[in-house]
Structures are given as C-alpha cells and as structure tokens.
Amino acid sequence: MDIERFSKNDKLLVDRTVSGRGQQDGGIQVTFKNLAPNSAIHLVYLESLPWFMRPHYHTLQTHLRLNASRKQLRSRENIQDIYYRPAVDRVRGSHLEMLLEVPPASTLTLSYDFEKAILRYTEYPPDANRGFDVASAIIKILPGRGTSASERGATYMRTTTLLLYLPTPDFSMPYNVVCILNLESKPILTQTIDHLDKHSHSTRFRQHLQRHNTTLHTC
C-alpha cells in the first residue's frame, strides 16, 4: 500500500491512498476530515486517471464518521452531484468530478476498485519495476454562505501523486532465449558446416581425379 501525506488547510485534511496486493486489481481511498466544529464544507473533487487504470465506479462507497465517534455510516447523500467521462485505451484517461458535502466535525471516506491493464512491452519505461506515477487529485473548496466578500474565492488543494505497480513482464527473457538458441544451434551449425566443407573437398577431389584419368586415356 502506498500512503500519501496529508494535504491540509485550516479546516480540512485530505488523505489519498492506493491499495491492493495483486497484479490485477487495486483500490483507491480518499479521506476528507472536516476540523470545523459547526460548519460543513462543500467541495469539488476532481480526479484524472491514466487509461491503464480502469475504475469500477459501481463499487463506489462512502462512509461517514463523526470525529468524536468510531462508528461509521454508509451514505450516498454526501455526494450531491457526479460527472464521469470514461477512458479510451491508449487515447485518453478517465475523468471524475464529484460535488461533496463534508458535515462539521466528521470524516468522509470515498473508496472504489479498479482494474490494472496489461501494457505492450514497448509501452513500459526503462525502469519498469519502479511503477507508474498517477497524477494528484484536485480539491476545490467552495466558499460557505457566511463567508465575507474577501473570502468568497474558492480554495484549491492538491494531493501528492500515487505510485502504481502494473503487471511487468520479465524483460530478461529475450536475452535468455537468444542464449539458449545460440547454445542449441551451435552444434547443429558446426556439423552442417563441417559436412558441407567435407562434401566440397570430396567433390573437388573427384573432379580432379576425373580430369587426370581423362588425360591418361588421351595419351
């Protein structure tokens, strides 16, 4: 699991993580913690994922927990609006925008699953085992109703990037195949060349002998 640092301001803490152990599936979890005791926070969560991450948004879940309690409640009421544009393989990534409300003194958690695509071997970077960087999410905190005119502008936050591990082929296999083929083909090629060389020598000897016999008969 790759855990990111908190991106925070005076009233909101944001934590974004990627989870999963296998090479096929994974998950994203985003946590919003409202530190304000009396005011809710309205925000727009914007996330763009690369095409090789195939999110399953039907698995999207929301959990709400009061900061003073350990009990979590599952509710979709905190998602006020949602916009999603699916990805196209090797053309564009997916795009997700959600209008969220985080109640005062509470923690809202979003989570969903995704599938990891298998790349062509030419699409891997030189250091394929390092993983792939996933762009940070953007949070736009909307001004509240009781804010002054000087504070009515929206506040933006960014999470840190994620590091995603994809199924990686064994790039040493072509080298191993070349070595094995060389080892196996060497005796065959050696015998073939030796046989051809002996055959050419015997053919030249017979031709020379035939010319010599022809000369003797003529004499």
Tens digit of each residue's pLDDT (9 = 90 or more) over 153-180: 678 999 989 999 998 888 777 777 778 8
Which pLDDT belongs to residue 47? Answer: 96
Instruction: Verify that 140 and 202 share a domain, yes or no.
Output: no
Type of residue found at 90? R
Instruction: Verify that 150 and 86 share a domain, yes or no.
Output: yes
Instruction: Verify that 32 and 137 share a domain, yes or no.
Output: yes
Predicted TM-score (pTM) of this structure: 0.73
Burial 24-50, CB ≥16 within 10 A → b, else e:
eebbbbbbbbbbbeebebbbbbebbbb
Instruction: Verify that 160 and 183 share a domain, yes or no.
Output: no
Task: Quote the CA–CA distance of 136 and 139 in Å, as a whole number.
Answer: 10
Instruction: Verify that 151 and 178 share a domain, yes or no.
Output: no
Task: Quote the CA–CA distance of 47 and 93 in Å, as a whole number.
Answer: 10
Instruction: Verify that 104 and 198 share a domain, yes or no.
Output: no
Instruction: Verify that 83 and 187 share a domain, yes or no.
Output: no
Higher-confidence position of 170 and 205: 170
Q: What is the pLDDT of residues 106-125, one digit of tens each?
A: 999 999 999 999 899 889 88
Say how many domains are in the chain.
Answer: 2
Final residue of a domain: which of 118, 133, 164?
A: 164
Which pLDDT belongs to residue 20? Answer: 83
| 151 band by pLDDT with thresholds 50, 70 and 90 | low
Residue 23 CB contacts under 8 Å (≥ 6 apart), including other chains: 116, 165, 166, 167
CATH code (residue 50): 2.60.40.740
Type of residue found at 78? N
Task: Quote the CA–CA distance of 120 and 51 in Å, as a whole number.
Answer: 13
Task: Quote the CA–CA distance of 125 and 123 in Å, as a whole number.
Answer: 7
Instruction: Verify that 147 and 176 share a domain, yes or no.
Output: no
Domain containing residue 198: 172-219
